Chain A
Amino acid sequence: MSRSFIAGAAGLALAGALLLSPAAQAHKRWLLPSHTVVSEAQWIAVDASVSNDIFDVDRPYPLKALEAVGPDGKPATVDNRLEGHRRSVFDVELTQPGSYRLTLPGQSYFLAWQENGEPQRRRGWNGADALLAELPDNAEQVALTETHSRLETFITMGAPNSTALKPSGQGLELQPLTHPNDLYDSESARFRFLVDGEPTEGVEVELVPAGTRYRDSQDHWTLTSDAKGEITIDWPAAGRYYLEAGFADKHPDHPKAQQRRLQYLATFEVLPL
């Protein structure tokens, strides 16, 4: 009796935490390019991993949805896709001057319900309908949450341009006011967050410097987008940074979902000058 009570309380607490804080339970996910600023045409290699260890690999991230966009806005050539045991990797060919964008969009659903007074929950990556089909007949207090995530990183050959960086107008996106391949220590960067193309206040942003494996603290810091949807990042040092932004609203695509959670995750490289 006490055991089921504990399980129930823990389940309820977990479901509550998931609802309140979209990012809190999710693992960090990231793309890590071997190079971000290059001075001639070349291939670069990219790791994609689900790992809380920034930037050391842990688990592979599916590459099926990968978008690689070149400086002319057209698809860039991707080769050697591999989803390994601890990471995914792929190569991108940089052939023309300008900026390349790599994006891995993802969508999942989270379903919570009560069954015989017990909280139940399930997560699905194959659409809401597949998840809803698993609901038992006696399910009560059904809550469906839609989650969109977007992993991004940027690479520039020669001078930066912004064609590939143009927002799509869907979900949570970063609109760079400082070019993401023009980041230097002792300078600050300004980014604007858009939700469905509109600058949005209240986007919660977390930044983590690389190298968590070799220190005893995360050394992360948090920012919230202002009335113009903007944040200013003062880079503490040169290096690579993990950025995770989250926002929740009540505008899901699926008619049976009540809430939409938006996640934007990006990797930036800051150079010494």
Chain B
Amino acid sequence: MRPWLALSTTVSAALFAGALTANAGATELRLEVAIPRMAVAEYHAPYLAFWLKHADSGEIVPLGLWYDDQEKWLKDLRLWWRRTGRTQSAPYDGLTGATRRPGTHSVDFSALPALAGLPAGDYELVVEAAREVGGREVVRLPFHWPADDTRTVTAKGDTELGTVTLQVGP
């Protein structure tokens, strides 16, 4: 198993490097997400999903998923599940990782291969959070792609998400 894993890592690193080269200096898409601290007896870190929605065509570009390898609960990211999750299987598209604890977290989507061929236009970056024994919330950040200069878009969730800041730049 190990040699295979090592090889697999090398291959994805190479793909990643390729994508970086193709995109070099052209694009930036970074996000800061605040996960609020909850005063609750039973706390589970929320599952989060990130995707882009093209304003006109409605086309979806999956950006990432934070979950704890329990696919059973992925359906609770209801909007993500309907828009893209249910047509996928592990490994899920975009940057996937474990759930994060309360606090502010950064995620840089700039090097994602999916952004390399992204058509110009108006988009929404959608962040959805779903927490076991908690709630669900969706936050949307509108932006134009590609950006002429560095722009910051901020939105704030009411319950499951705190301040979400998108930085998009050339």
Contact = CB atoms under 8 A, between A and B. Distances in A.
Nearest to B77: A39
Interface in B68-106: 71-75, 78-79, 81-82, 85-87, 89
Interface residues of A, number: 15
B75 A38 contact: yes
B82 to A, nearest CB: 7
Contacts of A40: 71-72, 74
Q: Chain A contact residues: over half helix, strand or loop, or mixed?
A: loop
Interface in B99-119: none
Contacts of A22: none
Contact of B75 (A39, A160, A184, A273): A39
Contacts of B81: 37, 39
B79 A37 contact: no
A271 to B, nearest CB: 6
B79 A39 contact: no
A156 B86 CA distance: 10
A75 interface: no
B162 to A, nearest CB: 22
A42 interface: yes
Interface residues of B, number: 13
B82 A39 contact: no
B79 A273 contact: yes
B134 to A, nearest CB: 15
A158 B87 contact: yes
Nearest to A182: B82
A39 B78 contact: no
Contacts of A38: 72, 75
Interface string A33-48: 0000111101000000
B70 to A, nearest CB: 8
A39 B78 CA distance: 11
A37 B75 contact: yes
Contact of B74 (A39, A182, A272, A273): A39
Contacts of A97: 89
Contacts of A156: 86
B87 A39 contact: no
A108 B81 CA distance: 42
A273 B78 contact: yes
Given A272-B78, A273-B78, 6 more contacts: A39-B72, A39-B75, A39-B81, A40-B74, A97-B89, A158-B87
